[in-house]
Amino acid sequence: MNRYLLDGIYTADPSAHVFDGRLYIYPSHDVEGGIPFNDNGDHFDMKDYHVFSLESIDGEATDHGPSLHVDDVPWAKRQMWAPDAAKKGDTYYFYFPAKDHDDIFRIGVASSDKPYGPFQPDENYIEGSFSIDPAVFEDDNDEYYMYFGGIWGGQLQRWKTGSYEDDDSEPSDEAPALCPKVAKMSDDMRGFAEEPVDVLILDKKGNPITAGDHNRRFFEAAWVHKFNGRYYFSYSTGNTHLLCYAIGDSPYGPFTYGGVILTPVIGWTTHHSICEFQGKWYLFHHDSRPSGGVTHLRSVKIAELTHRSDGTIEILDGMME
């Protein structure tokens, strides 16, 4: 199993969830904005979201149409990047990053009584939120946690002191790498129940992964899934174009580096989710093959994922068609 989700629309950064027995995929929606490539990611000028669903993994995807547009969000100015969704009770919550009117990335929430929306956004972004790539994990005890963060264009490096500063410097190569963040969600799913804290990724010796370790350090695209009672934190390394994972015993970590999930794909970015559906595990990711390698026009792919008996994950070839 290794196939593209659909034709006729460019989508990326897929977050996959099973709600009421059906698989729903919440991606970003790539468009041609006419903006030259740069490290800030301004060429990723997405303006809205579509939701897709499948009855079976090899079935045809249903496009449920536009679910939220930047013009619907009072606090948002531009760049509706990678989203996620969660269900609590009878309500579906949609989480998304966007730049506010000061060009600072924040994370917003919208809700609906349907998994595909349309979603009604809250008036303001989540208090205390910043950077990009929200991913909400529901634990077995019905607690929900949001993971987020992304460096370079995602602005995580501008929050080194705990408040926003217009400073893009990163730690020295020998220093611990910038960490993604995690916070438990409030009971109403519209905010944080606590201050976000660092998600620490360690090497096998228990030392923090360093900023210069570009093959293993966090860049963006946080995701958590649980397998055999353990927490798997997966992420993109960014400029080395790998998807990696680390394993821990708590949703807060620390997580010990476990290996590579996916080798580089065609196109600059790598962003994913991992989900169990109808008894099998799948990796949802994207590449730029259908657009001829255009970095900001990407297409969602689905591949079967295998956990080995020792808990490690088999490596997938990103160039496999």
Widest Cα–Cα separation across the chain: 49
The DSSP secondary-structure symbol of 315 reads P
Place of tokens 């929606």: 29
**Residue 23 contacts residue 89 (beta carbons within 8 Å):** no
pLDDT digit string (tens) for 198-217? Answer: 999 999 999 999 999 999 99
Could you identify the residue written with the tokens 């079935």?
Answer: 59
Q: State the pLDDT confidence band at 219, using cuts at 50, 70 and 90.
A: very high
pLDDT tens by residue, 58-88:
999 999 999 999 999 999 999 999 999 999 9
Residue given tokens 């080798």 in the structure block: 263
Residue-wise pLDDT tens digits, 9-50: 999 999 999 999 999 999 999 887 776 766 677 777 789 999
Q: Look-up: residue for tokens 């809700």?
A: 111
CA gyration radius, the chain: 18
Cα–Cα distances in Å, from 68 out to 9, 285, 321? 16, 21, 32
Q: Write down the pLDDT at residue 301.
A: 97
Q: What is the pLDDT of residue 94?
A: 98
Res. 221 pLDDT band, cuts 50 70 90: very high
pLDDT confidence band for 110 (50 / 70 / 90): very high
What residues does 94 pair with on adjacent strands?
85, 110
CA–CA separation, 238 vs 250, rounded Å? Answer: 25
- Structural domains in the chain, CATH included, are 2-305 (2.115.10.20)
CA dihedral 54, 55, 57, 63 (to 10 degrees): -10
Pairing verdict, β 273-277 and 255-262: unpaired
Cα 145 from Cα 50, distance rounded (Å): 24
Phi, psi of 26 (to 5 degrees): -115, 95
pLDDT digits (tens, 9 = 90+) for 252-301: 999 999 999 999 999 989 999 999 999 999 999 999 999 999 889 999 99
Q: What is the DSSP letter of 208?
A: B
pLDDT band at 5 (very low <50, low <70, confident <90, very high): very high
Active site residues: 13, 220
193 pLDDT tier (thresholds 50, 70, 90) = very high
